[in-house]
Structure 1
């Protein structure tokens, strides 16, 4: 009975697994940072400045919060 589970370094299967993990990392990075180019456009559409905190309207329950 074989107890060694996994891939041996240098085998074709090992290289395929390494390539798949690398490709998954690149794809994740690309998906996370692909929206960076449209952030200024979204901020303008929603009239949000970089200085404004994200939870401003939810956490602040005063008369000035009604302007959100």
Structure 2
């Protein structure tokens, strides 16, 4: 999000984002999500900064398939 100039509203979401990124980097995005990952995703979607990014997705070519 830093490259977009938008910060997380709650800085604790940075750890959620890193956890999710590690999960994807490990190639586990197509497996059943453990509760920890489900919580991270839910927390990220509740963050005001993430909502701002999503609202401006057309500016960044964030396709729905990327979500």
TM band (smaller chain)? under 0.3
Greater relative contact order structure (CA < 8 Å, 6+ sep): 2
- Structure number with larger C-alpha Rg: 1
TM-score (norm 1): 0.27
TM-score (norm 2): 0.27
